[in-house]
Every structure is written in C-alpha cells, then in structure tokens.
C-alpha cells in the first residue's frame, strides 16, 4: 500500500505575530528560520528540522506593494513548495502548492508584466503517475493559487452541494454540505441523513447530537469567495471525474446548480483534480469547521 502525505487542498492560514522580515531575508538559512515556525501549524514537531531549502525567491505576487516569499524545501525524496504572502507588516498567509510532494517544484514567471507561480510536476491517471512533465501557471485569486484563466465565467449560482466519503465511491457519502444562494446551509456527518439531504426524503429523522442534520447561515464574504472561484476557474469546463493513483484517499463530490437549472457535477478521488478544485474544497471544509451549526 502506498503511503503519501496527501495534500488535499491548498493550505492557507493567516499567521500573525511575526515581524515583516521577508524583505530582510538574504540566504537559505534566513528563509528556513523564517518559515519553520509557520510549519508547526501543519506538521509534527521537529519535522522541519530535517528539511533543507532548495530554492527561494522574493517577489510581489498580488501587486499590493508587499514582498512575498516563494520557497521549495526538500526532505528525503519529498519536496514541499510554499508561498508566504505578506498580508500586513505582522501577518502572513502560508500556502502549500503540491500534488504528491515527489519531485515537484515551483517558480515565478511574468505574463503581461504580472507575476504568476509556475508549478512543475508529473502527469498522473487513476492507475499510475506517469513520467510525463506537467506545468501549471497559477494565479492568486480569492486567497488561493489556482490555474490561470484569462476568461472567467459569470455564472449565477443557485446552490452548492459538496460531499465526501472515506475510500467509498459508491453509495451514500459520509457527510454532505449544501449551501443555497440565500446563504442558508445544511450539514450532516451521518450517512442516512446525508441521503435525506441529497434526496429530500419526507421521512426525516433529526436526532440530537453528532448524528443529526445541522443548519446555519454562511457568511457573505465566504460565499462570495467560493462563487468567485467557481467563476474564475469556469467550473463547467472542467472534467466530470478526477482520480489520484494513490490508494485509501477520500472521495469528494461537488454539484453546482445554476440559475438556468443546469448542473455541473464533479467526482474527485483524492480531492486534488485541479488546483482550483482544491481551493474550493478547502474553503468549503473551512466553512464546515468554523460555522456555528445549530
């Protein structure tokens, strides 16, 4: 069975309390000392001490007149790519840009005098990771790095349904989140209730406790960012199915209902079909974890 540190989505979190030191970084030792404390938010204590900075550079990725940091670190056969965005003089946003962490790298290029992150890796299918190079040009949009799209869509969205299940592509999912255009949302982590939410069965059991159906209202800014990503990546043009060749991954599903009653459904084994999908799944997961469900 293959083991992998799975990057389901772009990791992003605001880390406060550091001095704005990016401008003063002059060598790999400085970069490692600056980035390492941030990594403790994601990895077990001490893991970063084994990593070495391979490549790094400073640039302004979102034209806000603040210097950002792009860094690739290696540890054994693994490669970890990070971008540190300076949100203010004392707060930073750490994003990880990886598919498999094996032999991958990032760089920065300029297109029409605008900076973009370029990801270098290998193509993969459900069955195998091929030795065919792949390159993705990533743009910083709505707090995430996603595939560059110079012609975003302008959809009117009625609802978003997201589901996931552990290594079980068939049958009812383990949990379901539905968000309507009025920002009302329903969420459950119970399979029978997941089926109820999806099929709108009339016989609804809604017991108290963790097995129930929970409801709340989503923050306007959070929903606006998700709508923005859906339009920016032009989700209707994506494939209907994506799959990682690694075993024992989560199965993710997303269905978007548009104002014209059309639907776009995507099944994504591993949750990393595209960087854009990763960003959407990440934001939806953040909503699940931070919303005051009732």
The Cα 273–Cα 276 span in angstroms is 8
User: Please, what is the Cα angle at 161 between 207 and 165, to 5 degrees?
Assistant: 70
Which distant-in-sequence residues (6+ apart) come within 8 Å of 26 by Cβ? Answer: none
In the three-class reduction of DSSP (H, G, I as helix; E, B as strand; rest coil), residue 39 is classed as: helix
Closest by CA to 269, choosing from 247, 244, 248, is: 244
> Could you tell me the domains of the chain?
14-147 (no CATH), 157-290 (3.30.1560)
How far is C-alpha 235 from the geometric centre of its chain's CA atoms?
15
Q: What does the CA dihedral 181, 187, 192, 196 come to, rounded to 10 degrees?
A: -20
pLDDT the model gives residue 40: 63
Q: What is the pLDDT along the chain (294 residues), one digit of tens a residue?
A: 343 333 333 444 444 444 478 999 999 999 988 988 887 655 544 555 667 788 899 999 999 989 999 998 887 677 889 999 999 888 899 999 988 767 788 999 999 999 999 999 877 665 555 667 889 999 999 999 999 999 999 999 999 999 888 655 555 667 889 999 999 999 987 665 555 555 554 444 444 444 578 899 999 999 999 999 999 999 999 999 988 777 777 889 999 999 999 999 999 988 888 999 999 999 999 999 899 998
């Amino acid at each position: 069975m293959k083991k992998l540190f799975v990057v389901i989505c772009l990791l992003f979190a605001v880390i406060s309390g550091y001095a704005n030191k990016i401008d003063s970084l002059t060598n790999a030792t400085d970069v490692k000392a600056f980035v390492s404390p941030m990594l403790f938010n994601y990895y077990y204590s001490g893991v970063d001490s084994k990593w070495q900075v391979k490549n790094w550079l400073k640039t302004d990725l979102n034209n806000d007149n603040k210097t950002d940091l792009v860094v690739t670190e290696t540890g054994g056969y693994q490669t970890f790519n990070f971008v540190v965005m300076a949100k203010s003089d004392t707060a930073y946003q750490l994003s990880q840009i990886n598919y498999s962490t094996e032999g991958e790298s990032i760089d920065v290029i300029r297109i029409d005098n605008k900076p973009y992150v370029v990801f270098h890796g290998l193509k993969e299918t459900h069955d195998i990771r091929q030795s065919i190079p792949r390159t993705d040009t990533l743009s910083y949009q709505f707090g995430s790095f996603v595939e560059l799209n110079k012609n975003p869509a302008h959809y009117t969205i009625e609802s978003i349904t997201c589901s996931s299940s552990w290594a079980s592509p068939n049958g009812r999912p383990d949990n379901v989140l539905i968000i309507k255009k009025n920002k009302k949302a329903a969420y459950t982590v119970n399979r029978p209730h997941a089926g109820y939410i999806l099929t709108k069965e009339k016989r609804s059991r809604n017991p108290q406790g963790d097995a129930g159906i929970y409801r709340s209202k989503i923050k306007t800014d959070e929903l606006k960012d998700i709508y923005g990503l859906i339009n920016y990546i032009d989700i209707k043009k994506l494939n209907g199915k994506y799959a990682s060749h690694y075993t024992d991954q989560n199965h993710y599903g997303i269905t978007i209902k548009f104002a014209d009653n059309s639907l776009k459904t995507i099944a994504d084994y591993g949750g990393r079909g595209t960087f854009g999908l990763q960003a959407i799944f990440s934001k939806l997961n953040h909503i699940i974890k931070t919303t005051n469900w009732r």
